[in-house]
Structure 1
Amino acid sequence: MRKFALLAAALMASASAHAENVAVTGGAVSSVLFEGVTAFKGIPYAAAPTGANRWRAPQPVVAWQGVRDGSAFGHDCAQAPFPPDAAPITTTPAEDCLYLNVWKPASAKAGDKLPVMVWIHGGGFVNGGSSPGVYSGQNFARDGVVFVSLNYRLGRFGFFAHPGLAAEGLGGNFGFLDQIAALKWVHANVAKFGGDASRVTVFGESAGGMSMHMLLQSPLARGLFSQVVIESGGGRNGTLPQPTMAKAARVGAEFAPGLTAAQLRALPEAQVTGDLSMMSMGQKGYAGPMVDGRTILGAPDDAIAAGLTADVPVIVGANSADGFAFGTDKDKVFAQFGADADAARKVYDADGTKPAGHIAMGISADKMFIESSRHVARLMAARGQKVWLYRFGYAVPKMAQAIGGAAHASELPYVFDTVPARKGDAPLAEEQPVASLTHRYWVNFAKTGKPDAAGVPAWPQATATTTTVQWIDGKGASHTEDPYTARLDFTASKIGG
């Protein structure tokens, strides 16, 4: 034990000896060094969104004296616990949460012009944060990228409209305004870490993927990024609710009827947070992201088709069992299609052998994420945009047996090359090649503007009529005729063509 303590002390002393201080907006911040990567954690990118700043656009960061300790994450944003979360936060959540983190190669210095990647986490806009171990930027920085992750306001703190706020001309998608403010911070400061502000790839999954659609269409985000990766972000009109501001205000009034803006801002943090989580997103008094005219203009596919989105290279895709439905009775699963039940059986269970749970998961996945990803890729390609479509298909045997493929968010430890940090089962030997390949595609995209640079299987761009997909699984990756084509065509015919 004494020998271990001495070794730990030596490592800490070594890290401290090589730590850097960097001056950013607001003051100087220190760092920690680990295996050739320097990390700066818990950097404020805006003032605390508390008190008078609650339900306002993010305000300029308050300057601090001396050198701020950059060895620990700042608070993740206020939220109710979500125990099933595959990427649990590691901080105590709080309303004071507008912090970001930077990882860079230890050798990187100002003026190096390294590519930048900015990560926006998922969690249904009610859970999540930048502190989970699987979201570490360590291995992106190891591979020559300046990596940034950030927090943004969640739940009613982040997405809220109310008659009392409307009287001040306020209300809406404050969490999205936080993301945009963080990207502005990146542009103002990333060169000090060796990053190139003209080479920013922003990426996110689930709610983070939906945030990518917001950034692509918001006029406030123009020029803040050069490339986008949308992981399980949907995108088809009608698959996810997007209320108007007026409707969201009516929902907000259900939560706090008759209160003025001052009274709303005086509510205790715990009361605003409540028990809202991924387990209870449909509860009374919460509307989620809304069409506010500055961050969200409308449905992602409508915005793309109308030419309202940024014309930048995009990777878009989903996982092979990327849904949220379960079932044990096939007749009940197919009954949702009414008169089209037999047609659905032909595309989802042609030989009658697939388990009901796999079918239900596939139907949900196609509707929410898989068909939407193909739809978005086709629309972007039709306007001449560079776009690459993927399907992540690797699942550990237990998951494959349970749901028939790769679950929602299960690609993330492979994208980040952080499988050992994943919650749950210990890594299998077969997983590291999947992680190495998936991670390499994302790094290549950040560095070269396309995912298939030398050393990985080719990945052709999508077309306006594409029926092919880059399939990534335990066997590697290949560009193949999409095995889900009949399913996706059927789904498209039911939800919009």
Structure 2
Amino acid sequence: MSILAVVTALALSIIPADDRPTVPTQQGAVQGVQDGGVAAFKGIPYAAPPVGPLRWRPPQPVQPWTETRAADHVGAICIQPPANGDNAVGPGPMSEDCLTLNVWAPSGAREPLPVMFWVHGGGYVNGSGTADLYDGSSLARRGVVVVTINYRLGRLGFFDHPALAADRPADEPAGNYGVMDMIAAMKWVHANIDRFGGDAGDVTIFGESAGGVAISQLMLAPDARGLFTKAIIQSGVPQGPTSRLDVATPSGPPLAERGAAFAALKGVPADGSAEALRAIPGEALLEPAPNFGGGDLVIADGRVVPTSIEDGFARGLQAPVPLIVGTNSNEFPWARADTNPMAQALAPAERAALVAAYDDEDDFQGRFISDVMFNGPARWLARAHAAAGNPTWLYSFDAWPDAMPQPHRGAWHAQERQYVFDTLKTSPWPTTARDEAVAQVTSDYWATFARTGVPAVDQQPTWPAFGAGEEQALVFHNDGVAVEPVPGVARLDLIDALLDRLKTAGLR
């Protein structure tokens, strides 16, 4: 890079420390707000509204604007069903016109800063990047630029139908519109983030639950290659086959076949028109609800999502970037083991051995699904990524607010998000100094990894790389962090053997 280019980049990257900073993006100027040394720019469109003829099409470029655009409030959340009070959904209204992102950047930075790009969870049917839980201010104060995004959800984000296939160009990708949105937002960051003080060549993608699954898939996606340099997967590593666009798999029929069956319920036959499909009101696409576990959503299309996560990582096809991966200690304690097909497939001797690896029958019932869906797959992916020669770190999150009442107490699914973002103020329970200390150190580890590629925090335990000798994890407890052997290793080994048996038998 020439000296002039460096000077120009630095000039663009300095956000003035005034109350209403303005940044010239490639599409037009945006004006945000500054508070406490962090400039926030909200509701910035990164793609054209996916409405009318653009519904069920890959994201298209947004139309430029000439007047400075107010970026002081979040955009609409994508259409989704009620979320039972989940604080990760964000404020309304809902709309199909929802492809926006939010940026938090330290004011007055004198050099380009690393970027943290967040993909929210919610089973690919709920959530948004607009929720207060994902306010990026605290992370940004740790010397990074934070980006959160919305992407299309449910059947608006993951859908196909014979009429759509007949209507689209032969070379146009289909089905995974929500994943295409994520990649479009990453490309927007690559083109524009230098103007907000970010370094487009130093981007950490991170996400939780379905967002963690998305990070795993983006690590395999050819169109995302080169758009990120590090990754963090929080509670999002499924093992097993992925549904396909055009053929049946153990996950279910092809996506187009499922789409035709659904559209028939809405009065559009399999030989109907794309126009008729696009005329269905967005809210009408919510019922009956799509089945995340049954493969109604993300598919392996051979292009955007080339293969399943398990197959891709086993073959070393993922991006060779530093990775943090982990889970919470008891993701789904309310989900009983005997309701799970994996537990139902246990031979009597397998079941007896597994129960013996837990504290008792009740512990097995409460922890098996967490182990088979989260803890075991996270260890498997850490092994696969490290075996390919990539720096890898494994964690287990075992902390929760001191004021959390029974029967809720525990590090259940999604509990770590408010610690990662250091936004415990959004918790429904009052927080203590001990809670805040755990949030501070968690956020410090994440931000330091984004800045340096190594999760090292002063005066905290050295987090050992996974695969270098004994398998260890960094465990986040209520009273601090500690390096420990991988939790529950005996039961995870038994679950691995079960999964291998079922795979060999063609049952998963």
Q: TM-score, normalised by structure 1?
A: 0.89
* Structure 1: stretches of 5+ with no match in the other structure: 1-14
Amino acid in the other structure paired with 1:470:
L
Q: Give a deviation string over 1:89-119, Cα, whole Å, max 9, x none.
A: 212121000000110012136xx21111000
| Greater Cα shift, 428-437 or 209-218 | 428-437
Q: What residue is the counterpart of 1:270 in the other structure?
A: 283
1:2-151 to 2 correspondence within 5 Å? 18-108=19-109, 112-151=111-150
Query: What residue in structure 2 maps to residue 320 of structure 1?
Result: 329
Partner of 1:7: none
Instruction: Identify if the C-alpha distance between structure 1 residues 64 and 154 changes in structure 2 by more than 3 Å, giving closer, same or farther.
Output: same
What is the CA-CA distance between 1:86 and the residue it aligns to?
Answer: 4.1
* Aligned residue number for residue 345 of structure 1: 355
TM alignment of 1:382-393, pairs within 5 A: 382-393=387-398
Distance 2:240 2:280 in 1: 35
Q: 1:37 to 1:266 in 2, by over 3 A?
A: same
Q: How many residues align?
A: 468
Distance in 2, matches of 1:100 and 1:205, equals 17
| Cα distance in 2, alignment partners of residues 335 and 124 from structure 1 | 24
SS in 2 for 1:18: coil
> What does residue 370 of structure 1 align with?
375
Q: TM-score, normalised by structure 2?
A: 0.87
CA gap of 1:346–1:401, structure 2 versus 1, over 3 A, is farther
Structure 2 residue aligned with 1:309 = 318
Deviations 1:423-480 (A, max 9, x none): x212233211110110000010011101014332100100077532111111211111
Distance 2:304 2:178 in 1: 10
Distance 1:195 1:296 in 2: 28
Match in the other structure for 2:255: 248
Q: Between 397-406 and 114-123, report the one with greater CA deviation.
A: 397-406
Shift of the alpha carbon at 1:17? Answer: 5.6
| In 1, Cα distance between equivalents of 2:384 and 2:470 | 10
Q: Which runs of 5+ in 2 are unaligned?
A: 1-15, 248-253, 502-508
Name which of 200, 207, 217 aligns with 2:220: 217
Alignment-mate amino acid for residue 189 of structure 2: V
Give the CA deviation at 1:237.
Answer: 2.3
Q: For residue 485 of structure 1, what is the aligned residue in structure 2?
A: 489
Q: Per-residue deviation at 1:395?
A: 2.4
2:133 aligned partner, one-letter code: V
Q: In 2 relative to 1, CA 260–402 (structure 1 residues): closer, same or farther, beyond 3 Å?
A: same
Structure 1 distance, partners of 2:403, 2:448, is: 31
Which residue pairs with 2:430 in the alignment? 426
**Residue 144 of structure 2 contacts residue 447 of structure 2 at CA under 8 Å; is this kept in 1?**
yes
Secondary structure at the aligned position of 1:496 is classed as: helix
Match status 1:261 vs 2:246? no
**Would the aligned equivalents of 2:336 and 2:369 in 1 still touch at CA under 8 Å?**
no
Does structure 1 conserve the Cα–Cα contact (< 8 Å) formed by 2:399 and 2:410? yes
CA RMSD of aligned residues (A): 2.5
Q: CA deviation at 1:213?
A: 0.9
Q: Please tell me whether the aligned partners of residues 245 and 291 of structure 1 are also in contact (alpha carbons under 8 angstroms).
A: no
In 1, Cα distance between equivalents of 2:459 and 2:95: 44
Tell me, yes or no, if structure 1 residue 294 matches structure 2 residue 307: no
Deviations 1:383-438 (A, max 9, x none): 1111000000112457695367310000000000000112x212233211110110
**8 A contact 1:316–1:373 mirrored in 2:** yes
Contact 1:127 1:154 in 2 (8 A): yes
| Structure 1 residue 178, shift from structure 2 partner | 0.4
Shift of the alpha carbon at 1:482?
A: 2.2
Determine the C-alpha separation between the residues in 1 that align with 2:79 and 2:392. 35
**Equivalent-residue separation in structure 1 for 2:367 and 2:65 (angstroms):** 51
User: Matched residues in 2 for 1:22 and 1:335: separation?
Assistant: 57
2:194 counterpart of 1:191: yes
1:271 Cα deviation after fit: 1.4
Pairs within 5 Å for 1:441-456:
441-456=445-460
* One-letter code aligned to 1:263: A
* Segment drifting more, 170-179 vs 436-445: 170-179
**How far is 1:72 from its partner?**
0.3
Q: How far apart, CA to CA, are the structure 2 residues paired with 1:333 and 1:495?
A: 8
Q: 2:210 aligns with which of 201, 207, 211?
A: 207
- Give the whole-Å Cα distance in 1 for the aligned partners of 2:280 and 2:378: 40
* Counterpart Cα distance in 1 of 2:57 and 2:183: 14
- Determine if contact 2:46/2:62 at 8 Å carries over to the other structure: yes
